[in-house]
Structure 1
Amino acid sequence: MDIDETPENSVDTDRMGDDIPTVEYNKKSIEAMGRDELVTFLDGIDNRVEALRKEAMKLQEERDILLTRIDMLKNTDVLSNLKEADQEEINLHLQRINERLQTVDINVQTVRDHSQIDSLNVINHLIDEIIKFGDPIVKRKKCQEYLNACSSNDFQYTMSFSSIESTTVTFIDKKFEGHLLGCTLDDQKRIKKRLEALLNYMAQQIIMYD
């Protein structure tokens, strides 16, 4: 089974940092700075910190996507179609990849209150449950409804009715939406990207097995 191992928003680690503004540091020049120059200097450091956080978050998102793909493979029926020896080989390969990925620890801290932590935990649980669904059509439909909650104008279902030639209806999982709104803005962005990657991967799987 061919799987694209490079996420759409992957980070080129060889070039990482090329676009991050450099903070010039010289002890003598800093000691001679006035108030306005110090503010400008600190603004430069602040810009670099923000750029560094963005790069780290991209890597964190890539790690999340890879973990999702591994979980999808663990919960798919494709392995059951292989010979027993082949199943064992693939499972061992999958385990090695997962163990290597677990050694990558990227921690960009997001300040959350207790309510936001609870909401994020529920969201993660709901997304994990999607992966365990057996029916790929139901799985994709539920993922789409979750994604609609993140951006109702971007993803829609088109349904046909006998009395109306075509009507566009957007289905949103209200439970998911309620918990999503309880998350921080940074978490909401990450959740949306995770769902987009998951939906795209499931669409590829459906095409492969049609």
Structure 2
Amino acid sequence: MSSVDEPMNLTITECESVLSCASSERSPVASPENRNSYFKGLARMVRNFKARALLLEDDQESLFTALMNLRDECTTPSPSIAGLGEEAVTVIDDLTHSLMDVNLKVTTKRSDHEEEALHQVNRLIDHLVSKVHEGPNTKELCHVYIRSCYKSGQCTEETSADDDEHSFQSIIINCSPDDKHRIRKRLHGLLNYIDSRLTDIYCPTLDVRNK
């Protein structure tokens, strides 16, 4: 889970109260020094709020994915959910609709440069998704992209860092901080999906024998 700054000991009500009397000589923000400190505190509160909203947005997406995957399993023969049938599908649909009642959307302001970088990154990831069924090579490329997300943006001297890594890295460093967070989340989710596909291909479900 992403970390956020320590919360301020200043409530929203207190913020409104101070702002309403900011022009008064008795206001705690009357002096330039106090005013600067006060607005820095407000800025920190806003950053914390946005960070928490991003985490909630991630949680909602993860719940949607879990519900969709479970629903898919319910509609195919699967020993892990045998006997649940239509009743389970109904429950999952109800939970999905309930989750959709919560409308979470964190809007990210981007420069033209950041918009173009995000477009290029999404195009590369979409191409990676289209190659999911090609096996281990796709998993390795996903690992390459994930490694690129955690580097400072300068080329390394590692021999394992190939053209794909440098190319992806040179693009993602131009993305906004919020988009970098979402891209990392998307790539980790894609890697988990690739792992599950490879397990299905190379390690098919075995019959339960020790009963």
TM-score category of the 2 structures, normalised to the smaller one: 0.5 to 0.7
Please identify the structure whose Cα radius of gyration is greater: 2
After the TM superposition, which of the residue ranges 84-93 and 189-198 deviates more from structure 2? 84-93
Q: Are 1:133 and 2:132 an aligned pair? A: yes
Contact (CA 8 Å) 1:75, 1:131: kept in 2 or not? no
Residue 194 (structure 1) aligns with: 186
When residues 93 and 181 of structure 1 are mapped into structure 2, their CA distance, relative to the original with a 3 A threshold, is: farther
Q: For 1:84-99, list aligned pairs within 5 A.
A: 91-99=89-97
Q: CA deviation at 1:183?
A: 2.2
Q: CA deviation at 1:187?
A: 0.9
Identity, % of aligned positions:
22
Q: Are 1:42 and 2:39 an aligned pair? A: yes
Residue 115 (structure 2) aligns with: 117
Q: Are 1:63 and 2:60 an aligned pair? A: yes
After superposition, the CA RMSD in angstroms is 4.5
Contact (CA 8 Å) 2:108, 2:178: kept in 1 or not? yes
Tell me how many residue pairs correspond in the alignment: 183
- DSSP-derived class of the 2:106 partner: coil
Gap regions ≥5 residues in structure 2: 153-157, 204-211
Task: Encode CA deviations 1:113-155: one digit per residue, 9 max, x unaligned.
Answer: 34533443453455456288346645533422321332369xx
Residue 20 (structure 1) aligns with: 7
Task: Encode CA deviations 1:64-91: one digit per residue, 9 max, x unaligned.
Answer: 33344456x3897895434998665555
Residue 160 (structure 2) aligns with: 169
Matches of 1:77 and 1:174, distance apart in 2: 38
Contact (CA 8 Å) 1:149, 1:176: kept in 2 or not? yes
- Normalising by structure 1, we get a TM-score of 0.59
When residues 203 and 111 of structure 1 are mapped into structure 2, their CA distance, relative to the original with a 3 A threshold, is: same
Structure 1: which amino acid aligns with 2:107? Q
Residue 145 (structure 1) aligns with: 144
Q: CA deviation at 1:49?
A: 1.1
When residues 194 and 205 of structure 1 are mapped into structure 2, their CA distance, relative to the original with a 3 A threshold, is: same
Task: Encode CA deviations 1:46-104: one digit per residue, 9 max, x unaligned.
Answer: 22111111111221222333344456x38978954349986655555554444333333
Residue 180 (structure 1) aligns with: 172
Residue 81 (structure 1) aligns with: 77
After the TM superposition, which of the residue ranges 172-181 and 96-105 deviates more from structure 2? 172-181
Q: CA deviation at 1:21?
A: 0.8
Matches of 1:197 and 1:22, distance apart in 2: 36
Matches of 2:180 and 2:92, distance apart in 1: 29
After the TM superposition, which of the residue ranges 20-29 and 189-198 deviates more from structure 2? 20-29
Structure 1: which amino acid aligns with 2:46? V
Contact (CA 8 Å) 1:119, 1:179: kept in 2 or not? yes
Matches of 1:143 and 1:95, distance apart in 2: 31
Matches of 2:54 and 2:134, distance apart in 1: 32
Gap regions ≥5 residues in structure 1: 1-8, 12-16, 154-166
Structure 1: which amino acid aligns with 2:177? L
Higher relative contact order (CA 8 A, sep 6+): 1
Contact (CA 8 Å) 1:68, 1:198: kept in 2 or not? no
